[in-house]
Structure 1
Amino acid sequence: MNSFSKLRRAVLAGCVVLGAATLPQVAVAQQAAPAAVAAHPYLTVAELRKLYADKQSRYVTIGGLKIHYKDEGPRNAPVLLMVHGSESSLRTWDVITQKLKGRYRVVRVDLPSYGLSDGPTDEALKVLVPTDVPIGLLDHLKIKKVTFVGVSSGGTMGMYLAARRPDMVDRLILSNTPSDPVDTSHLKLSQGLTDAMARAKDSGFRDQDFWVQFLNFFAGDARRMSAKTHKEYWDFYRRVPEKNLIGMIARIGDGKQAMIEMAKVRKPVLLLWGTADPLLPESALNAIGRYLANAQISKVAMPDVGHYPPLEVPERFAQMIAAYVEAATPILPVAD
């Protein structure tokens, strides 16, 4: 039995997504019984908002869903729209925002089901597609153009947005973003994560150490994953189970429609990649470059970094964003 088969057997219901790979989520069955919820230290969205909302927190209603976002920096500055991947939140970009908000307007959003945003209802899924969330937010803020920055499935969202609304996107910065249905047969789980999954199988719940082991496994250097990050992941992912957890996550699926959409992208694209990623290594970097055949591709490989570059090396990531936007692909004003 390969490692991913063991991972599937170790968990009970629902799903977690890293890029386009579906990793089952422990004890978050779509219709969890009240007794099961009461047996574990879950937090409601309201409780999470009390813990983590701050003076920069704002909310907008899109398709009936209350969506949490932050909008920082000068209003007349170039706009960076930053979108996290699944199993994450807008806090992915905390350090990068602090580094860049003096010279850019930085907009971040919690996708539905994640962070402090509502989860999608059945009714919302009848009227919304994933790219409606960034479009709705930008329309709300009256922002016409952005540099889109996305990690993992957040980068997938960016590609789909650039294909659907090229007028909204100046350029894309994509980090460890899938382009094919992800092959997980090569994963060799750490002993710590294997043990954490065994506990999860027995208890039906992912404990705090699960998230330490999970983040450390997907890091190039686990020492870069701070105790603060471990604690935030634990808090956000003991959120009361969502029925439609990944309903508004941009996914590759079987890859057929994704290939069509990627071919529509005709913008400058920086592929900023942690090639120590056990899930999406350098071969995935090369693959996405091929599929974005009509884009203007630049690549930066970071061999010491794993699946979450914005969390592992935020200062380096911020420097590369600024260099790419300001030096590599400056958008010049159009003469009158």
Structure 2
Amino acid sequence: MTASDDRSYAGAGAAPTESRVLTLDGDDIHVCPDGPRDAPALLLIHGSASSTRSWTPMVPLLTPTHRVIRIDLLGHGRSAKPTGSSYAISDQARRTGAALDLIGVRRAVIVGHSSGGAVATALAEARPDLVTALALINTGPGLDALITQESAAPALAQWPPTDEQLHHMASAGFSPVGHRIPEELLEELLDDVRGMTYHSFTSTMLSTRAYLEQRALPDRLAVLGKPLLVLFGEDDRRWRSSSASDYLAVPGAVVELLPGLGHSPLLEDPPRTAAALLAFAATQAAR
């Protein structure tokens, strides 16, 4: 495992950030640490077909009090997109834990958006020593909560997707009457999809499905004994927001529905999302 520095990367409207490329099992994994090195750590894990840039609006809201680490999972963003490596949720979690080890993070609150919440859960299963608590944002608890849609994956002959297909795919990620996403940031997020290979795109989708088929997230989390916050935009068009109540099976879980927001509260209303995360993180620091 090796690491290199690259401070040139930042998302739209973001301040310059430290950017590092770590070599794990022969594949490059891109991470962005921000904020004071001695502050409590927050690890932010993006969802499928996204990247570290999906968290860009949140970073300046979190770094005054926390060290914020973002990671591009294998197949996404600036990380490698190999055909011969595993995209299984357990392997994504293993690499994530190894990345934290390399940059010297020993304990962290793990935050996952959408399928990133599955990776966060798998990390807590594999590395309970590393995970202080978990916060899941619009992460469906099981496949029965999935809202049936047209296939999100264009046929192989159509890859990469057309601009029209991309905008159609992205539309379900936000409330139809919610907050406007800055156009520049939206285009960067669409570029993240354009930058994926068909193999990495479909493999990550199938891996999430397989992980949920094996066992629903509330069942996995209930036996871990980790504090849990669940945030869910009420207008989610990918997962039924009513399914958030399934997480109440986890002892002590806090579930908060966010009216007026869709599948991506971190982009639709960063201040409200950050406030909830910071309040939760503060309770963990006081434990």
Q: Which band: TM-score by shorter chain?
A: 0.7 to 0.9
Q: For 1:68, which of 14, 30, 49 is the aligned residue? A: 30
**Does the CA-based 8 Å contact 1:216-1:225 persist in structure 2?**
no
2:258 aligned partner: 302
Task: State yes or no: 1:213 paired with 2:175.
Answer: no
- Which runs of 5 or more residues in structure 1 are unaligned? 1-48
1:136 aligned partner: 98
Deviation of residue 163 (structure 1)? 1.7
2:71 aligned partner: 109
- What is the percent sequence identity of the aligned residues? 27
Q: Would the alpha carbon gap of residues 301 and 123 (structure 1) be closer, same or farther in structure 2, given more than 3 Å must change?
A: closer
Q: Would the alpha carbon gap of residues 84 and 96 (structure 1) be closer, same or farther in structure 2, given more than 3 Å must change?
A: same
Tell me the TM-score normalised to structure 1 length: 0.71
1:89 aligned partner: 51
1:147 aligned partner: 109
Deviations 1:179-216 (A, max 9, x none): 212455655x7xxxx9xx9xx77x82522233333333
2:3 aligned partner: none
**Does the CA-based 8 Å contact 1:270-1:297 persist in structure 2?**
yes
1:15 aligned partner: none
Q: Would the alpha carbon gap of residues 213 and 225 (structure 1) be closer, same or farther in structure 2, given more than 3 Å must change?
A: farther
1:204 aligned partner: 158
State the distance in 1 between where 2:260 and 2:196 align. 35
Matches within 5 A, 1:207-286: 207-220=162-175, 221=177, 223-239=179-195, 241-245=197-201, 247=203, 251-253=208-210, 255-258=213-216, 261-286=220-245
> Cα RMSD (Å) of the superposition?
3.0
State the distance in 2 between where 1:125 and 1:313 align. 30
Q: For 2:273, which of 312, 317, 326 is the aligned residue? A: 317
Deviations 1:227-250 (A, max 9, x none): 123211332222262534454676
Deviation of residue 224 (structure 1)? 1.8
Q: Would the alpha carbon gap of residues 101 and 52 (structure 1) be closer, same or farther in structure 2, given more than 3 Å must change?
A: closer
| Aligned residues between the structures | 270
State the distance in 2 between where 1:300 and 1:180 align. 18
Deviation of residue 63 (structure 1)? 1.3
Deviations 1:69-115 (A, max 9, x none): 10111111000000000011111111111111121100000011111
**Does the CA-based 8 Å contact 2:94-2:126 persist in structure 1?**
no
